[in-house]
Structure 1
């Protein structure tokens, strides 16, 4: 699985767990709503600065997002 697409799935999952819409996440993270959509669809990958903004808005650590991404990629790579 493409890293950008996997990261987008992680952000979407965290956003839904937090009970936020894309617009609410965008406002909290101080980014455009369209940008959140592009990240979630794997079209754009965020910079480190945006990663920190997203994590703050999602009330988690940036490392949590990266760890979740690693787990998702590991799960995709493990055929069993």
Structure 2
């Protein structure tokens, strides 16, 4: 059974490597990073999701999705979120080195 266990380990590692290079997984990682940054700033300011959502004129579930990486806000929505938290978001657009 040692061979089978090693095969499973190698297969899992191979899948991780493939996933790490797949554009959709890369995008999902970026979406999660953005959501984490928004959540961190909101918590740092001591605001609830409901407060920020009301101030930004979006629903609380929409903000929850953004913070969880499941929804990507438009630039206009990012602007409203920044204003709601009285903060500034700096967006850097860069060409992917792999492209």
Q: TM-score, normalised by structure 1?
A: 0.76
1:33-48 equivalence runs, <5 A: 33-48=60-75
Alpha-carbon distance between aligned partners in 2 of 1:38 and 1:5, rounded to the nearest angstrom: 10
Higher relative contact order (CA 8 A, sep 6+): 1
Report the Cα offset of residue 58 of structure 1.
1.1
Q: Which runs of 4+ in 1 moved over 2 A?
A: none
Report the Cα offset of residue 62 of structure 1.
2.6
Unaligned runs of 5+ in 1: 68-80
Question: 2:51 maps to which residue?
Answer: 24
Alpha-carbon distance between aligned partners in 1 of 2:85 and 2:51, rounded to the nearest angstrom: 10
Residue 9 (str. 1) matches residue 57 (str. 2) = no
Alpha-carbon distance between aligned partners in 1 of 2:78 and 2:61, rounded to the nearest angstrom: 16
Structure (1 or 2) with the larger CA radius of gyration: 2
Alpha-carbon distance between aligned partners in 1 of 2:72 and 2:55, rounded to the nearest angstrom: 18
Report the Cα offset of residue 61 of structure 1.
1.4
Unaligned runs of 5+ in 2: 1-25, 93-99
